[in-house]
Amino acid sequence: MMKRESMERRPLRREYSQDFKAGVLAQIRQSGSSVSGVALSHGLHPNMVQRWRREDWQRSAAPAQSIEAGFVPLLLAPACDSPVQTESTQAAPSQVAVVESESIRIRLGRASGTLTVHWPVSAAGQCAQLLRELLR
């Protein structure tokens, strides 16, 4: 026969107000305080307070990290001035020197060969977006 105590429902999770959480997090930020000490002084488990801390950090960092993903057009110049060169492309040394001094140089090695991309420094943001999408 089963005990009646084991048939009873477990209590629901406690919910804490945003003001309470903010107060606990403010105590953690004080010098000399520890997450465990503050949590135990409020009767909380340290893991819960760590989660609140992580969520608070993510919430405060979210606007800075929100980068809209999308299509980044790649504009290529005519074939003679193309910013994309392969190892087999023969260019005049003076042209290469100008391109290298004013551009970001990315060298991609593959089994089929090496591709060198010269990207204008003025469009570094677009280059970063392209690389972010390629390395995903």
Query: Which pLDDT score, from 0 to 100, does residue 94 have?
Result: 47
Query: Which pLDDT score, from 0 to 100, does residue 123 have?
Result: 83
Query: Which pLDDT score, from 0 to 100, does residue 77 have?
Result: 62
Residues 121, 99 share a domain: yes
Query: Which pLDDT score, from 0 to 100, does residue 98 have?
Result: 47
CA distances from 98 to 27, 89, 93, 104, 125 (A): 57, 16, 9, 12, 21
Query: Is 61 within a domain?
Result: yes
Residues 100, 55 share a domain: no
**How many domains does the chain divide into?**
2
What is the pTM assigned to this prediction?
0.40
The H or E element spanning position 38 is helix 35-41
104 phi and psi angles, rounded to 5 deg: -90, 130
Query: Which pLDDT score, from 0 to 100, does residue 96 have?
Result: 47
Query: Is 116 within a domain?
Result: yes
Residue 106: give the domain boundaries: 79-134
Query: Is 2 within a domain?
Result: no
Query: Which pLDDT score, from 0 to 100, does residue 14 have?
Result: 84
**Tens-of-pLDDT digits for all 136 residues of the chain?**
555 566 677 777 888 999 999 999 999 988 888 999 999 999 999 999 999 999 988 887 766 555 566 677 777 666 554 445 444 444 455 444 444 467 888 887 777 777 777 788 888 888 888 777 777 7
Query: Which pLDDT score, from 0 to 100, does residue 99 have?
Result: 47
Query: Which pLDDT score, from 0 to 100, does residue 25 have?
Result: 92
Query: Which pLDDT score, from 0 to 100, does residue 66 have?
Result: 54
> Beta 103-110 vs 113-120: how paired, if at all?
antiparallel
Establish how many alpha carbons lie within 13 A of residue 53's alpha carbon, considering only the half-sphere containing its beta carbon: 17
Residues 20, 59 share a domain: yes
